[in-house]
Amino acid sequence: MHAYIVGVCIGALAGMLGLLLVLRNRALIGDGLAHVSFGAIALGMVMGMYPFVVAVPIVVLASLGIGKLTERATLFGDAAIGIISATGVAGGVLLASMAQGFNVDLFSYLFGNILAVATWEIVFAAALSVIVAVLVLVNYHTFFLTTFDESLARASGIHTKLIEALLMALTGIAVVLSIKAVGVLLVSALLVIPAVTALQLAKSFGGAMTLSVFLAISVILIGITLSFFADIPTGATIVLLSVLIFLFALVWRRTK
Amino acid sequence: MQPIISVNNLSFGYTKTDTALRNVSFSVLKGSYVAIAGPNGAGKTTLIRVLLGLATPYTGDITLFETPQTSFSSWERIGYLPQHTGHFNPLFPATVAEIVRSGLLAEKRFPKRYNTQDKTRVQDALARVGMTDKSDTSVHALSGGQKQRMLLARAIVARPDLLILDEPSTALDQETRSHIFSFLKDEHARGVTILMITHDTAHIGQYADTLLFLDKKVIFSGPFDGSCKDDVLRNYFGGDIAGEHLFNHPHTEH
């Protein structure tokens, strides 16, 4: 039951934020932030603290850093994600080699384990999920316009840089929470695949957002169930299930 | 008549060495219909982007509705139709109603939510551009002309006092072009001030009452009827013949 609750929280966030990131050509930012999480989790272990408590602020700062560097497109472009994500992984590897005692724990985060979630972790995930979801829903129409056309948004008096920074920060939180479900290596798939699948099927922005959330929650819940009964890795099951549904959607759209 | 836009000594460059606009000064009076014309690269679109705060920083003074542009916040008073609006992100899922409704966002305060009356306002705006039945249609199912009319509906849905349009008729068929100009004529008759960039210089005088001719700086600014007698503008075109097409309009007595 714990895993299902966390799964619903993560699915809702990944579905909402993933759609916005994909439409803004920022699909790979989840991958970069997940790598940063690896280093941040290692730091949390070295400090003897709960890794996610350390990872959330660090990853949020990294997400804002990526946003800031990407603004200077002529200087950095997508390289901003590469620079920050490589820094995260390198830092994580270095910390792991310095404190060999927690290597096994650290590397378990690479693949996630949602079935081993503690009660207080549910509270942590649920509280952060509610905050993120409320902020996305309150700014829903602003996100819509800034994603559709930034110039129109700015000419409507919207502070687009602030909205971009908010999206980056919320993505940072969602990435850290998602690591528990699918792990560092597969977290970007959870952000990207349900969103891209929804875009194959929906004709309105509201419809795509709803469908993206529904698909992300569904694949997590079904993935948890399948992996539990078949005794297979949860993260990989969730991601492969997402890919399967995406392929069905792709074929359905082509044949429509 | 009070100026809705007042620009004094405006200069702007995209880089430190570039000068897209040089010492530009002009006013747009309430209720006027201003056509901005000039060659390619003259700074027409840049001027509009600077006016709307989309291109910064600049030197000089800009006043919108008697408020300095840097502290202007009543963006719902300005309806904006950007250039090349037909090129949407092919992935972006949106219905016509969703796009038009976003034109109301400028008047909303945090948290920006729409109400039930807004649905009626969207339908009304769509009716005014002849797209009543397209409300739930995907934007990707629209023709280029329909997309332009949809964005025009977005620009007017909040009933702005000023419409700023960047080449609204470019790449459109004759029927759609006529529809848009007829629509703008009606808006102008309702008291809406219009500031429009156009390359359609052959017919420019059929609808505009004021001309702002740019080539990085202001070559001419004043009533359309006076433009053909303006020496500076005539010299710019190298005499009557080269500039003749610009003055082919019913306001002017040749």
Q: Which domains does chain B possess?
A: 3-89+161-247 (3.40.50.300)
Q: Which chain B residues are closer than 8 Å to A22 by Cβ?
A: 91
Q: Does B82 touch chain A (CB under 8 A)?
A: yes
Spatial contact of A128 and A56, defined as CB atoms under 8 Å apart: yes
Q: Which of B4, B151, B129, B182 is nearest to B77 (CA)?
A: B4
What average pLDDT is seen over chain A?
87
Contact B98 A157 (CB under 8 A): no
Cα separation of A195 and A23, whole Å? 9
Q: Does B99 touch chain A (CB under 8 A)?
A: yes
Q: Is B232 left (phi over 0), alpha (psi -120 to 50) or beta?
A: alpha
Cα separation of B215 and B236, whole Å? 10
Complex ipTM value: 0.86
Angle (CA) A27 A29 A35, round 5°? 135
pTM here is 0.87
Q: Shortest CB distance from B91 goes to which of A153, A199, A207?
A: A199
Q: What is the pLDDT along chain A (256 residues), one digit of tens a residue?
A: 778 888 899 899 999 999 999 999 888 888 889 889 888 888 888 888 888 888 899 999 988 888 787 776 555 657 778 888 888 889 888 887 877 666 667 777 887 777 777 788 788 888 989 999 999 999 999 999 999 999 999 999 999 999 999 999 999 998 888 887 788 878 889 999 999 999 999 999 999 999 999 999 999 999 999 998 999 988 889 999 999 999 999 999 888 7
- Parts of chain B with a pLDDT under 70: 1, 84-87, 202, 226-230, 232, 234, 236-254
Q: Does A144 touch chain B (CB under 8 A)?
A: yes
According to DSSP H, which parts of A25-78 are helical? 29-46, 51-71
Q: Does B87 touch chain A (CB under 8 A)?
A: no
Contact A152 B80 (CB under 8 A): yes
Contact A156 B111 (CB under 8 A): no
- Joined together, the tokens standing for residue B243 give 């500039």
Spatial contact of B113 and A141, defined as CB atoms under 8 Å apart: yes
Q: Does A154 touch chain B (CB under 8 A)?
A: yes
- Count how many domains chain A has: 1
Question: In CATH, what number is assigned to the domain containing residue A156?
Answer: 1.10.3470.10
Contact A203 B95 (CB under 8 A): yes
Question: Could you list the residue range(s) of the whole structural domain that residue A48 is in?
Answer: 2-255
Q: Which of A74, A173, A177 is nearest to A122 (CA)?
A: A177
